[in-house]
C-alpha cells in the first residue's frame, strides 16, 4: 500500500500535515505506522513514522535533524509519499541488537514481551550510535538489565 506523491510544507517546526483522504486510507487498513519518503530538490530521505491525529487532522513528526539533512527551510514545499510499514517493530531493527537478542533467548523473550513503543524506543536508542561495537555494548547492557527485571527505559540503558 502506498499513497500518491503529494506536495506539502512544514505544519510546525517539527511536523507535516497529511491530507485527510491519504491518512484515512492507511488508518482504515489499521496502518498507523508508515514509512515516509520525502524528496526536496536532489535530496531524498526515508524514515519510519506514526500517523498522529490532532483536532481531526493527521500529521507525522518531521524532526529538525531530518529537515536539515534534506535541506528544507520553513517556507519550502517538498514531495512526500506514505508507504505501508511492514517491518516487525515499526522501525528497522539494528543488526547488532538483533544479533545480541538472537544469542540470548531469555533476553529475547523478555524483549518481545515489552510494549511496541518500548521496543521501538530501545531500538532507536541503539541505532543512534554510529560505531558497531558501541551498538553491541549498548545492546548487551539492555539485555542484561532486562534479565535483571528492569523495565524503566532510563534504567534499562544504564550500565549497573
Q: Can you give the pTM of this predicted structure?
A: 0.80
Average pLDDT over every residue of 86-108 = 94
| CATH number (domain holding residue 49) | 2.40.30.100
Q: How many CB atoms lie within 10 A of CB 90?
A: 19
* Cα dihedral: 134, 47, 108, 137 (round 10): 0
Longest dimension (CA), the chain: 50
How many independent structural domains does the chain possess? 2
Is there a domain that residue 1 lies in? no
How high is the pLDDT of residue 29? 85
| Same domain for 103 and 73 | no
| Same domain for 114 and 61 | no
Q: Tell me: the pLDDT tens digits for 59-75?
A: 999 999 999 999 999 89
Task: Please tell me the distance from the alpha carbon of residue 47 to that of residue 62, in angstroms, as a whole number.
Answer: 9
Task: Please tell me the distance from the alpha carbon of residue 83 to that of residue 100, in angstroms, as a whole number.
Answer: 29
| Same domain for 18 and 73 | yes
Range of the domain at 127: 95-156
Average pLDDT over every residue of 128-144 = 94
The yes-or-no verdict on residue 8 having pLDDT over 80 is: yes
Residues of the chain with pLDDT > 70, as a percent, come to: 100
| Same domain for 105 and 43 | no
How high is the pLDDT of residue 160? 75
Amino acid at each position: 500500500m502506498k499513497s500518491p506523491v503529494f506536495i506539502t510544507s512544514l505544519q510546525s517546526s517539527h511536523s507535516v500535515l497529511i491530507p485527510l483522504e491519504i491518512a484515512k486510507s492507511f488508518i482504515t487498513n489499521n496502518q498507523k505506522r508508515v514509512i515516509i519518503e520525502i524528496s526536496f530538490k536532489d535530496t531524498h530521505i526515508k524514515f519510519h513514522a506514526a500517523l498522529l491525529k490532532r483536532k481531526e487532522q493527521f500529521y507525522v513528526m518531521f524532526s529538525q535533524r531530518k529537515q536539515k539533512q534534506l535541506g528544507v527551510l520553513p517556507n519550502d514545499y517538498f514531495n512526500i509519499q506514505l508507504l505501508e510499514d511492514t517491518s516487525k517493530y515499526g522501525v528497522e531493527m539494528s543488526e547488532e541488537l538483533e544479533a545480541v537478542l538472537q544469542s540470548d533467548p531469555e533476553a529475547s523473550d523478555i524483549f518481545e514481551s515489552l510494549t511496541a513503543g518500548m521496543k521501538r524506543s530501545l531500538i532507536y536508542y541503539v541505532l543512534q550510535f554510529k560505531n558497531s561495537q558501541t551498538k553491541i555494548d549498548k545492546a548487551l547492557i539492555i539485555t542484561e538489565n532486562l534479565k535483571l527485571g528492569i523495565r524503566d527505559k532510563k534504567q534499562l540503558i544504564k550500565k549497573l
